Structure formats: C-alpha cells, structure tokens
Structure 1
Amino acid sequence: MILEGKTEPQKKRRPHIGARIKSRRKALGLTLQELAERSGLSKPFLSQAERDLTTPSLMSMLALAKGLQVEVSYFMEIPQAQDMVRRADNPAQIAVASPVTYYDLSSALPDRKLDAVLMRIPPGHCFPVDTRNGEHFRYVLQGELHARAGDIQTVLKAGDSMHFDARAPHTVENRSDQEALLLYVGTPSVLQRGAPSDPA
C-alpha cells in the first residue's frame, strides 16, 4: 500500500527521453539555444539531457513541455487507469527520475481538467519556485512541510490543507528528518496523455 512503509522500488525502467527531446526540437526547427530561451533551462543542461547524460526532474519536464509544445506525458511513462477506480494494491507510480516518488491517482478521462497526485517527499527536498495558470490544493497526509504561496508562508502538518491560485509563486519544502506524504490536486491537467499539441 502507498500509505505504509517506505518508498516502493521503481518497477519500471526510467524512460530514455533524450531522443524524444531532440526529435521534437528538430521537428520544430529549434536550436538548443532557442529551446533554452523558450523553456528557461540552460543550454548545457539541454545538451546533456538530449544525450541521456542527465535525466530532467518533473519540474524540468514541465518546462520542456512548454518549450516544445507537448504534453508532459510525451516524456515519461504515466500509467493510465482504464476506469474511474485506483486500487491501493496497484499504485500507478509515475516513471520519472526524481528524489520524490509520484503516484497518479487520476483516471484516463478524455480531456480531463485536473490532476490528483500523491507525493512521497524525502527529508531535505525543496521544490523549485513555480507559477502557472490554474488552482492548486495540497493536503498533508503524513509528516510536516513548509509551504509558500505568494506572501503566505506556513507550516503544514498532517491533516492541514492549502488551496490557492497557482499564479502566485509557490513552493514546498521538507525541512524535517522524516518523509512527508502529500496529496496534490491541481488544474489544469499537465499529466494527461496526449500527442504533441500545436500552438493556438
């Protein structure tokens, strides 16, 4: 079960995304420098990522998805439920190289509007400050997290929640020596499986 014990071992091999990044970049006619400017990621980092010398974090993949005009699921394996139920004995772990373990709790609804994700956050981990359109909801199931959204800074303990406009700069940090378990629900969906999207 997800709520018991330590982080479950990754059962699937981490996807090699370098070829996908390069292929999509070439299809758009972008240089590494142009992709760096679009995504906010450095040119050396992108060069290493294309050669699979480093694996982007989930946040870096979100930036890449924006720069390459694709869904973030273009880069990683996201198990998709065939119905509306996720069973506790069959967690859908997202295959991504990160110290945080992610489980997708959402179903494969067509054009779904939100993501529900369970996160195992190790001690000392801090998420980069982020901003995006939509709303975020956080609920701490286990442990303690320092959270910020705009001018609000607070400590969230088990049972505490936070709901805010995601356009406000926000981050979460685990400053404790214990793993934290966080339920995240957010709009719009960034994990929905889909083909590369054309610009409007």
Structure 2
Amino acid sequence: MADSTADAADDQRQLSAALGRVIRAMRRDAGKTLQQLADASGLSQPYLSQTETGRSMPSLMTLHRIAAALGTSGSALLALTEPPIAPVVRLEEDSYDLNTKVQVWFRGPTERHVEQHEIVAQPLSLAGRHQAHAGGEFIHVLEGRIRVVVGSEDAYVLGVGDSLYYAATLDHEWFNDTPAVARFVQFANSPAPA
C-alpha cells in the first residue's frame, strides 16, 4: 500500500512538472507574458508561475481557465504531457477528485480534441460553474438524476438514459441535488489549437 501511495505521489509530481512545461511553452508560443495569461485567466501571476514550475497542480476548473486563456482545452494540455496514450484505460487509473463529493475519470485518448469523462457525483453535490469555452458538451446519465443549467436560465433534469448536448460557449454547470448517487459520462469537444 505504501508503494502505491509513493507511486501516486511521484506520478502527481511528474504530471505537475510536465503540465507546467506545457503551459509555459504554449504561453510563450502565443507570445503572452505571465501577467497577460494571469489577466486573461483571472488567476494570479504568482500562482501561474508556481504552476509553470511544477510547484502547484491546478484543479480541473483552474486548468480549464488556463486552457481557455491559451485558446485550447484542458484535455489538450494534459494530452501534451504524455507520450501517445494507451488504448486501454483501467478503472483504477486516471481519476481526479473534483471536490470531496465528485470523482472524475478520464476515459480514452484526447488527441482528437474530445474529452471523455465518467463522473460519479455523491448526493447533494455540484461541479461548480464552468466557464464558457469553445466547442460543445454531451452528457449521458447512467445512474441517478442530475440537473444541468446552461446559460443563465435553461435547466434540464436528466435521469437514467437521458442525454443532453449543448454549446459550451454558454456558461454551464450540473448539480446532483438528490439523495442518491448519480453517475454519468460527459464528452466535450473543442476545436484544434490554431
């Protein structure tokens, strides 16, 4: 057990360092200063500096803010941190705790500009407001019930077998405001970086 914990910590450090290098390279390729990226993403310049040097690992939402400011997606940034992705993703691999009540699994390769997630949301949980970004998103509910808010007013309640596609250019968020666990898959596509 200690070996797997140490391996996970080492993997986290390696991913933080690789992701920082990718963000720095993309920022420089875009001709942006660290302060310009901070202004565009709404994050502080010191935080972005720590991220670029691998001393800080951004949350999923923060990664999306950085990616949007760079004109790409979070999955595209992550895809650039690794050699070609293996075709099999095991259940126990590639999970990410969005918060204490939500766990996300990355499912499948991202080089085609499609993020694939399996999300397990505990009762009375939410993702938090997602910043609008290029592309679209598709949700399909496997278990339980969720409420998806798109734009400022449109709310959709989805149960088992229900699906929803929406333009990600609108602010969007989902909630599991029921007393049961909800499980769903989410696919987000984004245009290829210019």
Q: TM-score range by the shorter chain?
A: 0.5 to 0.7
Question: Residue type of the partner of 1:169?
Answer: D
Deviation at 1:142, TM superposition (A): 1.6
Deviation at 1:39, TM superposition (A): 2.0
Corresponding residue for residue 194 of structure 1: none
Gap regions ≥5 residues in structure 1: 1-8, 191-196
Q: How many residues align?
A: 176
Question: Residue type of the partner of 1:130?
Answer: Q
The percentage of aligned residue pairs carrying the same residue is 25
Q: Which one scores higher on RCO, CA 8 angstroms, separation ≥ 6?
A: 1
Deviation at 1:156, TM superposition (A): 2.0
Question: Secondary structure of the equivalent of 2:58?
Answer: coil
92-101 vs 170-179, which moves further:
92-101
Corresponding residue for residue 72 of structure 1: 77
Task: State the TM-score, normalizing by the size of structure 2.
Answer: 0.67
CA distance in 2, matches of 1:115, 1:125: 19
Gap regions ≥5 residues in structure 2: none
Cα root mean square deviation, aligned = 3.6
Deviation at 1:163, TM superposition (A): 1.5
Q: 1:167 aligns with which of 164, 169, 176?
A: 169
Deviation at 1:179, TM superposition (A): 3.2
CA distance in 2, matches of 1:97, 1:33: 29
C-alpha deviations, 1:122-155, integer Å up to 9, x for none? 3423332322222211111122222111231122
Corresponding residue for residue 93 of structure 1: 93
Residue 43 of structure 1 pairs with residue 45 of structure 2? yes
CA distance in 1, matches of 2:168, 2:32: 29
Question: Secondary structure of the equivalent of 1:38?
Answer: helix
CA distance in 2, matches of 1:95, 1:78: 18
15-24 vs 140-149, which moves further:
15-24
Corresponding residue for residue 131 of structure 1: 132
Q: 2:157 aligns with which of 141, 149, 155?
A: 155
Quick one: structure 1 residues 141 and 164, their matched pair in 2 at CA, closer, same or farther if it must change by over 3 Å?
same
Corresponding residue for residue 144 of structure 2: 143
123-132 vs 137-146, which moves further:
123-132
Higher strand share: 2
Corresponding residue for residue 188 of structure 1: 190
Higher helix share: 2
- Residues 93 and 101 of structure 1 are in contact (CA less than 8 Å); yes or no, is this contact kept in structure 2? no
Question: Residue type of the partner of 2:85?
Answer: Q
Deviation at 1:96, TM superposition (A): 4.4
CA distance in 1, matches of 2:106, 2:69: 23
43-52 vs 168-177, which moves further:
43-52
Corresponding residue for residue 119 of structure 2: 119
